[in-house]
Amino acid sequence: MKVLFIGGTGIISSACSRLSVERGIDLYLLQSGHNITANTGGGQNPERRHSQRDISETGDWRFEVRRGRGLGRVHAGTHRSGLKAFRNRTDQFIFISSASAYQTPPVNLPVTESTPLDNPYWEYSRAKIACEERLMRAYREEKFPMTIARPSHTYDCTSLPMHGGYTIVDRMRKGKKVIVHGDGSSLWF
């Protein structure tokens, strides 16, 4: 199986990259111009194929995708051309969005998949929403094979999704109280 990660060295994708290689998947990582070993928890795996270019290099990355390689990050500004590059060339396109795309502040709790997407406070979230909307339109209009995931907490062996790091985990394991932010009514810790 051939798998292409756009990114591949972040908190979620570095663990997925390691697992993919361990399971014998033919893995390609598409990178923008940052250090490819960032967040990999041990550095670059020589079994992975890397192409490190900037997605803004007109046309170049689409050629690489056709060859089974690639580069860059598809984000709100490039999702139209990214969609064109993957149309009829992928069995499944999985877009990692963010739970921060949900309505902020939420009108109703708990937040569920039917909660509207609306975060006026963070540009990152608005960019994720724009990508999701374009992918949904492609699915409705042409049955583009895609899945959207909205993780809430992201972590790996080097980064925990909470302030206090492993001290918090240690307290939980020992059944001790854990201090939460705000007035204590937050669903997040």
pLDDT of residue 165: 73
Domain 2-157 in CATH 3.40.50.720? The answer is yes
Measured CA to CA, the distance from residue 147 to residue 129 in angstroms comes to 14
Domain definitions of the chain by residue range: 2-157, 159-189
- Average pLDDT, stretch 42-69? 46
Measured CA to CA, the distance from residue 60 to residue 56 in angstroms comes to 9
Length in residues, the chain: 189
Instruction: Tell me how many degrees the CA angle 86-90-92 measures, rounded to the nearest 5.
Output: 110
**For 100-155, how does the pLDDT look when each residue is reduced to its tens digit (9 = 90+)?**
999 998 998 888 999 999 999 999 999 999 999 999 999 999 999 999 999 987 87
Amino acid at 39: N
Q: Which of 158, 166, 1 is nearest to 68 (CA)?
A: 1
The model scores a pTM over 0.85: no
Q: What average pLDDT does the structure give for the chain?
A: 75
